Amino acid sequence: MRLDVSDDFVEVRLARWEKVLGLMGDIRVARSAVDDVEVVREPMRDVLSSGLKAGLRLPWLYYVARSIKLDRAWVLRRGMEALSFSVNDGGTLRKVVVSTPEAEALARKLGSG
């Protein structure tokens, strides 16, 4: 997985195996549609308490999954903070949570945009 933040988009690019096992494709969101940016210190706790999911789920280890309603997406690794943001573009996807060692810096960058 690779998380790219440009002036125009936030992109979560998944490896082929993550797409297949996670039952989802890459995520691309316009920066203008990104809102409520925050760093989640314990993202595994959040995903485990969020209800039913479809995709790759290795509890407490690794998640590449979407909620059954397809309104939330998680790409998480154990022991790593995550960047969380809301999506306000009128589509189905409403929230994305992605593990990254750069969560703090990216949250600051997106929050200032």
**pLDDT tens sequence across 32-79:** 999 999 999 999 988 888 887 899 989 889 999 999 999 999 999 999
- Is the CB of residue 98 less than 8 Å from the CB of residue 52? no
pLDDT number for residue 90: 93
Are the C-beta atoms of 16 and 67 separated by less than 8 Å?
Answer: no
Whether 74 contacts 83, CB under 8 Å: no
Does position 106 have pLDDT exceeding 70, yes or no? Answer: yes
The pLDDT of residue 113 is 53
Task: Determine the average pLDDT of the residues in 6-35.
Answer: 96
Average pLDDT over residues 91-106: 96
User: What average pLDDT does the segment 86-105 reach?
Assistant: 96
Residue 69, classed as helix, strand or coil, is coil
Mean pLDDT of the chain: 93
- Indicate if the pLDDT at residue 112 is higher than 80: no
Mean pLDDT of 5-30: 96
Question: Nearest to residue 83, comparing CAs of 53, 45, 113, 43?
Answer: 43
Q: What are the Cα distances from residue 17, in Å, to 22, 80, 85?
A: 8, 21, 24
